């Protein structure tokens, strides 16, 4: 029986920093929505909010690898504190913004800093918790925190708005980041392996993407994340529309449906350590992605489902989404050397949000030109096709340790001293990761 990650003081403090950060982001999301309505009114508020969320996706997709490389020479703790302080300080002028371009620039800067912070946070957890079983439990706790943030942040914001103005909500979000900074300052970070700081900046920025592209399991992970985003985008974009159009009361039923989704997501995340003791990450993620698509397809053909059926469907959405999203960090950690983890996490962060950048507008557009149910059926079918493709890209037989040869290395090369090799071709076996000495994937036994 593995120990709880919360028994580790460093993780406990880092987890507290994550919770504070998530609360801050959640309050910011509500504050941005209200600011967009305040600035644009009923006619343009939605367009402004759509622009802000598009800027968020652009920052996440294009800036994460660049930010990771720019910060690679800075100790992680210092970098994360500075990034949190930057996000906190940007929230103050947001409370005073009265023009679309003002809040657009400030929000984009905030999202750029978030694109730098999140991969650093994700890469620190496996260093703090090197035991795989404990790290897996930590991923579950992290996913539960994300889910609770999505469900509880609107509730917290609604409570605060009873005593403060919508503009002051930005300052409340800033206070949450103060808590994150304090938690980071008292967290003890283990020493991290230093990445290679030689070579052109853009080449180093693309290192994580290069490793990602060369590693079959990471390519499969990307496709499975894309598969989920294609179907899940309908849930996130169109649940409020479904509640209003099909159930007749968006304000009443939208929070109920999303609460059932959150409940399912927590169940899936908490069950993940037990699932991964029986099944591989590939099997769990694929079952989650295909299961999500199957639930979507089944729901799309139902006629006037009752509320208990809707509750079961949205709980199913939550459970299957957690099966996909929770183990991703474990797959990334297994696929990169310690010194390359931050750059590969940045690549994962960028590529996964690229999928959402496509899926969000697609889900909204299909629902507007077709029916809600037909849009969901099309997205479910596309999701299933992408998931099947992912299973072909990510081989079922995917051992971490692989035999391979280094015929070009001299006999006294340090790598051959660390892990003794045999024969003139220098054949040896170890955990295989793409790096400068292993630039291509070893797919066959030697």
Position 13 scores a pLDDT of: 94
Q: Identify the residue with better confidence: 63 or 48.
A: 63
Of residues 354 and 159, more confidently modeled: 354
State the chain's mean pLDDT as an integer: 88
Least confident of 30-44, 53-67, 88-102, 397-411: 30-44
Alpha-carbon distance 296 to 388, whole Å?
16
Q: What is the pLDDT of residues 345-358, one digit of tens each?
A: 999 999 999 999 88
pLDDT, greater one: 33 or 85: 85
Cβ neighbours of 245 (radius 10 Å): 13
**What's the pLDDT at 205?**
65
Is the pLDDT at 389 greater than 80? The verdict is: yes
Q: How confident is the model at residue 273 (pLDDT cuts 50, 70, 90)?
A: very high
| 335 pLDDT more than 60 | yes
| pLDDT tens-digit readout, 283-307 | 999 999 999 999 999 999 998 899 9
Q: Answer whether 287's CB lies under 8 Å from 253's CB.
A: no
> Rounded CA gap, 333 and 335, in Å?
5
More confident residue, 444 or 120: 120
pLDDT grade for 361, boundaries at 50, 70 and 90: confident
- Element housing 122 (H / E): helix 100-128
pLDDT at 245: 85
Q: Which two tokens stand for residue 71?
A: 């910060």
**DSSP letters for 282-302:** HHHHHHHHHHHHHHHHHHHT-
Please state, in angstroms and rounded to a whole number, the distance separating the CA atoms of residues 143 and 276. Answer: 15
What pLDDT, in 10s, does the model give residues 30-47? 888 778 777 777 566 656
In this prediction the pTM is 0.88
pLDDT at 201: 54
Q: Evaluate if residue 197 carries a pLDDT over 70.
A: no
Task: Give the mean model confidence (pLDDT) for residues 307-317.
Answer: 96
pLDDT for 50 = 66
Under the banding of pLDDT at 50, 70 and 90, the label for residue 216 is very high
Judging by beta carbons within 10 Å of its beta carbon (0-12, 13-18, 19+), is residue 159 exposed, middle or buried? exposed
Given a cut of 60, whether residue 394 has pLDDT beyond it is yes
- Indicate whether 428 pLDDT > 90: yes
Answer for the pair 320, 312: CB distance below 8 angstroms, yes or no. Answer: no
pLDDT digits (tens, 9 = 90+) for 241-255: 888 888 988 777 887
Can you tell me the distance from the alpha carbon of 149 to that of 6, in angstroms, rounded to the nearest whole number?
19
Q: Helix or strand or coil: residue 431?
A: strand
Residue 162 pLDDT class (50, 70, 90 cuts) = confident
Model pLDDT for residues 113-127, shown as the tens digit of each residue:
999 998 989 889 999
Question: Region 392-420: what's the mean pLDDT?
Answer: 90
pLDDT on residue 192: 64
More confident residue, 95 or 391: 391
Q: Give mean pLDDT, residues 271-282.
A: 94
DSSP code for 421: -
Residue 255's pLDDT is what? Answer: 75
Q: Looking at residue 445, what is its pLDDT? A: 45
CB 347 within 8 A of CB 157: no
Q: Tell me, what's the pLDDT at 33?
A: 75
Greater model confidence, 24 or 201: 24
- Residue 332 pLDDT > 90: yes
Distance, C-alpha 236 to centroid of its chain: 15
- Distance separating alpha carbons of residues 345 and 118, to the nearest angstrom: 9
């Amino acid at each position: 029986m593995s120990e709880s990650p919360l028994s580790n003081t460093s993780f406990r403090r880092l987890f507290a920093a994550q919770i504070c950060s998530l609360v801050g982001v959640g309050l910011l999301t509500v504050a941005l929505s209200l600011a967009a309505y305040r600035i644009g009114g009923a006619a343009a508020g939605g367009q402004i909010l759509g622009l802000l969320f598009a800027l968020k996706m652009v920052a996440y997709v294009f800036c994460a690898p660049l930010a990771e490389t720019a910060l690679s020479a800075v100790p992680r703790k210092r970098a994360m504190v500075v990034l949190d302080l930057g996000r906190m300080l940007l929230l103050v002028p947001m409370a005073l913004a009265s023009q679309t371009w003002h809040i657009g620039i400030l929000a984009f800067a905030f999202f750029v800093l978030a694109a730098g912070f999140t991969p650093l946070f994700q890469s620190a957890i496996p260093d703090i918790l090197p035991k795989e079983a404990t790290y897996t439990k930590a991923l579950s706790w992290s996913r539960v925190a994300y889910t609770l943030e999505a469900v509880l942040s609107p509730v917290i914001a609604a409570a605060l708005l009873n005593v403060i103005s919508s503009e002051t909500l930005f300052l409340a979000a800033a206070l949450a980041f103060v808590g994150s900074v304090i938690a980071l300052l008292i967290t003890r970070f283990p020493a991290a392996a230093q990445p290679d700081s030689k070579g052109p900046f853009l080449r180093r920025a693309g290192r994580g993407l290069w490793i990602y592209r060369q590693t079959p399991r990471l390519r499969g992970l990307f496709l499975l994340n894309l598969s989920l985003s294609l179907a899940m985008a309908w849930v996130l974009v169109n649940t409020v529309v479904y509640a209003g159009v099909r159930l007749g009361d968006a304000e009443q039923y939208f929070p109920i449906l999303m609460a059932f989704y959150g409940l399912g997501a927590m169940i899936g995340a908490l069950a993940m350590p037990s699932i991964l003791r029986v099944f591989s990450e590939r099997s769990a993620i694929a079952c989650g992605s295909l299961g999500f698509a199957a639930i979507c397809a089944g729901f799309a053909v139902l006629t006037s489902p009752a509320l208990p059926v809707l509750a079961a469907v949205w709980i199913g959405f939550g459970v299957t989404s957690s099966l996909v999203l929770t183990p991703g960090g474990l797959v990334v950690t297994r696929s990169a050397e310690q010194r390359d983890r931050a750059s590969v996490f940045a690549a994962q962060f960028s590529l996964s949000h690229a999928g959402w950048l496509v899926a969000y507008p697609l889900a909204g557009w299909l629902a507007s030109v077709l029916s809600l149910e037909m849009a969901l059926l099309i997205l479910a079918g596309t999701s299933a096709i992408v998931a099947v493709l992912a299973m072909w890209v990510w081989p079922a037989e995917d051992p971490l340790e692989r035999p391979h040869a280094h015929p070009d290395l001299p006999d006294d090369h340090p790598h051959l001293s660390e892990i003794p090799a045999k024969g003139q071709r220098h054949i040896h076996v170890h955990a295989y990761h793409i790096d400068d000495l292993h630039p291509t994937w070893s797919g066959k036994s030697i």
